Structure 1
Amino acid sequence: MTTALPEIVSQEEWQSARDALLIKEKELTRAADAVAAERRRLPMVRFDGKYEFEGPRGRVTLLDLFEGRRQLIVYHFMLNPGQKAGCPGCSLVVDNIGHLAHLHARDTTLYVVAPATLPEIERYKERMGWTVPWVSTDGNDFNPDCGIDGGFGVSVFLREGDDVFRTYFTTARGGDQLVSTLRYLDLTPLGRQEAWEESGRGTDGPGHWWKRHDEY
């Protein structure tokens, strides 16, 4: 495939084009800030904090997952009972989770949950080299009650004492915001090299090139 490369110009022409794009980038940043503010103002719904999960230290509740912090982010991972490997896209998301100390510093805990049994989860975590905390939803209705029917998603919860509230949920391309790999690729001239981006820059469908990191 012949890749359509950017036009070659002088430094002055490049700087002018860059300055013009910067205006749009700042507009996009301000728009994203406004959406984030509206997201923070979403109403919330009371949620049962007594859901039980199987974790490395035994049975724990949804309230326990907060680990005493006020906020909880849950990534619903696609790994079902009997599967030896998790979803490549979900695996890319978990690969991109940074050091949790930064979230903890803002009173926020993050957990990954999956319907697979705990031993299946632990085997896959070991293969991938992950240390992020996981629990199994096997045997409870947490995922369906969060609107997860075999897919993936992100749920956000707030704790007020022992009361738990659900404040946000996203799925599909809403998960893109969690993947720094995509953010880096979006800075490059070839981008993600997917067909929807630019004519002649790629042929892959959205996410079709994603693999588990030990399979490239």
Structure 2
Amino acid sequence: MTPETPKLSDHPVVSQEHWLAARIDLLKKERELTEELDKLHAARRALPWRRVEKDYVFEGPDGPARLSDLFNGRSQLAIYHFMLAPGSDHICPGCAYLSDHVDAARQHFEQADLSFAAISRAPIAQIEAVKARMGWRFAWLSSGDSDFNYDFNVSFSPEQRANGGAPYNYGKERVEKASDMFGLSIFVQRPGNDAIYHSYSTYRRGAELLMGAANWLDLTPKGRNEDGAAHSWVRLHDTY
């Protein structure tokens, strides 16, 4: 949850001179934060990799596809772990909100050697129905009963959830009710090498970086306009 902001009716109004002084003071903080973010991004790029040992196979609209196929000729692959569970008709509004940004960004980052796919445990027919309803064009495949979601800590067995909650977000929180959660994982292949490496995964608020609309709202006096909970106003875009 973002910090509370003043109501529009209570917001201070000052002279141009005082506004400019306050803005310059904030600019110093923005520059400091930008420099710190540059350091954070560099540290993220420098993380060691781990080799992916399993040969994961997914079900797509055209049949089976391996993890290696999803690179689509590029050396980097982003996987969004979309919360869509078998036997459930619930479409996660937060996952949909993030996914609404993908196709617009994808036309650019694909030119910078990054491919994208979403993965869910739901059957491919269910995935295709949601994809058609939302008008998304990105690749979205089913991990089905494979270990993929479990290995990347976004799906949890009933036993895990019953035993004090399943570990999520690197053990920083426990999940008791949801069988599936969300996250983003990055994979890499070296040129001329079939090996696949896992370089990074992030969960919870780490995924906010991909929500461009939230960044726009952060520039405004009302901020994200949240009422007690993150993204409290967010709906599927065809239900606004």
TM-score higher than 0.5: yes
Matched ranges for 1:53-92 at <5 A: 53-92=58-97
Q: Write the distance in 2 (CA, Å) between the matches of 1:84 and 1:175.
A: 23
Mapped partners of 1:17, 1:5: distance in 2: 18
Question: Which amino acid in 1 is paired with 2:97?
Answer: L
What is the aligned residue count? 207
| CA shift digits 1:43-85 (9 cap, x unpaired) | 1100036210011221000000001110000000001112234
CA drift of 1:10 comes to 1.4
- Looking at structure 1, the residues matched to 90 and 10 of structure 2 have their Cα atoms a distance apart, in angstroms, of 37
SS at match of 1:100: helix
Contact 1:85–1:124 (8 Å) recurs in 2: no
Structure having the higher helix fraction is 2
The question of 1:156 aligning with 2:186 is answered: yes
The partner residue of 2:229 within 178, 192, 205 is 205
Deviation at 1:4, TM superposition (A): 4.9
* Other structure's SS at 2:186 match: strand
Could you tell me which residue of structure 1 aligns to residue 121 of structure 2?
115
CA distance in 1, matches of 2:146, 2:204: 23
Alignment deviations for residues 137-187 of structure 1 (CA, whole Å, 9 cap, x no partner): 112111111121210000000012210000001001111111001100100
Which digits, 9 at most, give the CA deviation of each residue in 1:89-121, with x for residues without a partner? 000000122242311111110111111111100
**Superposition misfits of 4+ residues, deviation over 4 angstroms:** none
- CA RMSD between the two structures: 1.4
Contact 2:217/2:223 (8 A) holds in 1: yes
Q: Give 2:136's match in structure 1, choosing from 109, 130, 133.
A: 130
Corresponding residue for residue 48 of structure 1: 53
- Select 1:170's aligned residue among 169, 186, 202: 202
Shift of 1:7: 1.0
Does structure 1 retain, via aligned residues, the 8 Å contact 2:51–2:197?
Answer: yes
In 2, the alpha carbon distance for the partners of 1:154 and 1:181 equals: 18
CA distance in 2, matches of 1:36, 1:4: 38
CA contact (8 A) 1:5 1:189 kept: no
**Which ranges of structure 2 fall in alignment gaps of 5 or more residues?**
1-6, 156-179
CA distance in 2, matches of 1:5, 1:177: 30
Partner of 2:162: none
Q: Give the share of equivalent positions with the same residue, in percent.
A: 41
Conserved 8 A contact 2:8-2:221: no
Q: Call closer, same or farther: CA 1:9–1:3 in 2, change over 3 Å.
A: closer
SS at match of 2:189: strand
Question: TM-score, normalised to structure 2's length?
Answer: 0.82
- For residues 116-141 of structure 1, give each alpha carbon's deviation from its aligned partner in whole angstroms, at most 9, with x where no partner exists: 11110000011111111111111211
